[in-house]
Amino acid sequence: MVTKSEPTVAKIRSQAIDFGDRVAELEEALEHQTRISQALREIGQALGTTMDLDQVLELILVKITEAVDADRATLYLLDEGRAELVSRIAQGNEVRSIRLALGEGIAGHVAKTSTVMPRSKRSNGIVWPDGSPSA
């Protein structure tokens, strides 16, 4: 025989499970924000101790890549004199650099036009550095 209290107990158990899931989500979000805060703190400290732009940019790339748990990060700097984008790419502990002409690829197009490219247009007619059209 089912009593009136049984559906209430099942409902309470379900809510407790939902609550536990929500707590886990919030703890994960807090951990993520803590990693980002730590990275920004370390970058700020480095800005106060060095004037070497390459060292600071490398640190920014490495720390932000770690903070957001990415496998790589790219930072683009505009070289107006050469009309190029110079990218700094951090993957693991390795940092390397490549150059793109303004207008080349998505990043080059955005830098040349100073406009954001909507997601729906990102594959329309943009040519990649190797000369191939984007997919």
Smallest Cα–Cα separation from 72: which of 82, 62, 58?
Answer: 62
For the stretch 78-130, pLDDT in tens is: 998 999 998 877 676 677 788 889 988 888 888 888 887 766 655 555 544 44
Instruction: Give the torsion through C-alpha atoms of 96, 101, 102, 105, to 10 deg.
Output: -70
- 11-15, 17-21, 30-34, 56-60: range with highest mean pLDDT: 30-34
pLDDT band at 135 (very low <50, low <70, confident <90, very high): very low
Q: Give the distance, in angstroms, between the CA of residue 14 and the centroid of all CA atoms in the same chain.
A: 35
Q: Count the neighbouring beta carbons within 10 Å of the beta carbon of residue 111.
A: 21
Using a pLDDT cut of 70, give the percent of the chain over it. Answer: 79
Count other C-beta atoms under 10 Å from residue 104's C-beta.
Answer: 19
Round to whole Å and give the CA distance between 101 and 83.
6
